[in-house]
């Protein structure tokens, strides 16, 4: 055979070999390792190399060939693209999709709902129970005055500014990332409610005052329609230099509250005891939602100074102490606090 013929045959063999490799690679990339769609939680640790990740994928039965997976990553120029984190994979995913998930950092997320009216410590408990944060670390960051100031918030902590909502959270987000998420969400909601906080209704011009009163309103009622009315009650009392006399503020200032507010508790010295001190407490007592913030920013105009529970989740509002006492006698049988709640 001539030299030219050998060259031609070699070229053809090389062509068919390359075509076979390309076709086989293509088949590998689009062919899942199996049909099982059951979730496999796959963790890529920080510092893990591409080959180690590929070997783990093959060992777990998520891909058929670690070598082809590595080769594809090299051809894509993504040998360093795989991100650390926790991923939700399954055997029905083709390798090309798995590579995209790992390279894009599409980590597994968990929906977590933070209810309105919880304290920062209660929020930390929820997150810690889901193994998303370490409670001590979370609270340490919440109370970091330098961090608080960096969010343009005046106060000793982020109490009141951890916005209650449903969040999609990844395990690698960490306490600081979660706090960033919640505080940024607070600012988004707050700024949508008020353009110029100096023009806030009721004479409250400072962010801290607005959020503090909103947190009290949040704790006083679960009815959205009542919040603007209750906000007006407290604003009216503030204007008249009357003490707010709000049980939730007293409870916030108590250590190891057992759920039963007693008469002596109302006399316990605390900066948050609004039965003793005039004006607002030093800061928020919970983390209010949109409706409570809106109620303080835009309260109803009323003459109400008192309210009492009607024992059905709603309240009766009064303008005079005489009317309030009649309402207490009507709706309550046990001895009540000045605003009509059990002592």
Question: Do 239 and 310 share a domain, yes or no?
Answer: yes
Give the pLDDT confidence score for residue 260 in this predicted structure: 79
Closest CA to 90 of 34, 50, 44, 30: 34
Domain boundary among 173, 193, 213: 193
Are 207 and 185 within 8 A, CB to CB? no
The predicted pLDDT at position 153 comes to 95
Say if 340 falls within a structural domain.
Answer: no
pLDDT at 25: 64
Binning the chain into helix, strand and coil, the percentages to the nearest 5 are 50, 10, 40
Query: Which of 104, 133, 167 marks a domain boundary?
Result: 104
Identify the sign of the CA torsion 99, 103, 108, 109. negative
> What pLDDT, on a 0 to 100 scale, did the predictor assign at position 259?
74
Structural domain including 180 reads 110-193
Q: What is the pLDDT, as a whole number, of residue 203? A: 66
Are 46 and 154 within one domain?
Answer: no
Is 3 a member of any domain? no
Q: Are residues 259 and 317 in the same domain?
A: yes
User: Both 98 and 117 in a single domain?
Assistant: no
Indicate whether 206 and 290 sit together in one domain. Answer: yes
Please indicate, yes or no, whether residues 239 and 115 belong to a single structural domain of this protein. Answer: no
In a domain, 130, yes or no: yes
Residue 316 lies in a domain: yes
**pLDDT tens per residue across all 343 residues of the chain:** 666 656 666 555 555 556 555 666 676 778 888 889 899 999 998 888 899 999 999 999 999 999 889 988 888 776 677 888 999 999 999 999 999 999 888 999 999 999 999 999 999 999 999 999 999 999 999 999 999 999 999 999 999 999 999 999 998 889 999 999 999 999 999 999 987 544 455 568 789 999 999 999 999 998 999 999 999 999 999 999 999 999 999 999 988 787 778 888 788 889 999 999 999 999 999 999 999 999 999 888 999 999 988 888 899 999 999 999 898 888 876 544 544 453 2
260 and 323 both lie in a single domain: yes
Same domain flag for 37 and 58: yes
**Whole-number pLDDT of residue 255:** 84
Q: What is the predicted pLDDT for the residue at 146? A: 95
- Give the domain-ending residue among 78, 104, 130: 104
Q: Are residues 176 and 238 in the same domain?
A: no
Provide the CATH number for the domain around residue 82.
Answer: 3.30.1490.480
Written as six digits, the tokens of 325 are 């006492």
pLDDT of residue 343: 29
Is residue 24 one of the residues assigned to a domain?
A: no
- 5 contact partners, CB below 8 Å, separation of at least 6: none
Cβ atoms of 23 and 68 closer than 8 Å: no
Does 185 reside within a domain? yes
14 inside domain: no
pLDDT of residue 197: 47
User: Can you give the pLDDT at residue 258?
Assistant: 76
Whether residue 250 is contained in a domain is answered as yes
Are 210 and 316 found together in one domain? yes
Structural domains in the chain (count)? 3
- CB count in 10 Å sphere of residue 95: 24
Cα 254 to Cα 265: distance, rounded to the nearest angstrom: 8
**Do 63 and 152 belong to one domain?**
no
The answer to whether residues 258 and 318 belong to one domain is yes
């Amino acid at each position: 055979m001539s030299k030219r013929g050998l060259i031609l045959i070699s070229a053809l063999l090389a062509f068919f070999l390359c075509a076979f490799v390309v076709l086989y690679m293509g088949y590998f990339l689009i062919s899942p390792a199996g049909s099982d769609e059951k979730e496999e939680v796959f963790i890529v640790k920080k510092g893990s190399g591409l080959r180690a990740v590929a070997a783990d994928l093959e060992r777990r039965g998520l891909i058929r060939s670690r070598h082809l997976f590595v080769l594809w990553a090299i051809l894509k120029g993504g040998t360093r693209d795989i991100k650390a984190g926790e991923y939700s994979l399954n055997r029905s995913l083709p390798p090309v999709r798995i590579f995209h998930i790992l390279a894009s950092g599409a980590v597994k997320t968990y929906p977590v709902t933070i209810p309105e009216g919880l304290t920062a410590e209660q929020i930390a408990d929820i997150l810690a129970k889901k193994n998303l944060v370490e409670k001590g670390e979370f609270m340490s960051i919440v109370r970091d005055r330098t961090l608080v100031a960096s969010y343009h918030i005046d106060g000793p902590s982020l109490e009141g500014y951890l916005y209650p909502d449903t969040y999609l959270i990844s395990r690698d987000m960490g306490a600081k990332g979660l706090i960033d998420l919640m505080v940024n969400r607070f600012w988004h909601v707050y700024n949508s409610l008020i353009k110029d906080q100096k023009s806030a209704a009721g004479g409250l011009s400072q962010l801290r005052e607005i959020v503090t009163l909103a947190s009290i309103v949040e704790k006083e009622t679960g009815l959205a329609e009542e919040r603007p009315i209750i906000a007006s009650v407290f604003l009216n009392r503030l204007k008249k230099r009357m003490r707010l006399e709000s049980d939730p503020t007293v409870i916030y200032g108590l250590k190891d509250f057992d759920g039963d507010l007693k008469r002596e508790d109302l006399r316990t010295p605390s900066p948050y005891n609004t039965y003793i001190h005039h004006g607002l407490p030093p800061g928020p007592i919970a983390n209010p939602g949109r409706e409570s913030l809106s109620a303080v920013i835009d309260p109803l105009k009323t003459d109400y100074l008192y309210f009492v529970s009607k024992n059905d989740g709603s309240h009766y509002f009064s303008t005079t102490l005489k009317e309030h006492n009649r309402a207490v006698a009507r709706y309550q049988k046990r001895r009540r606090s000045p605003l009509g709640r059990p002592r």
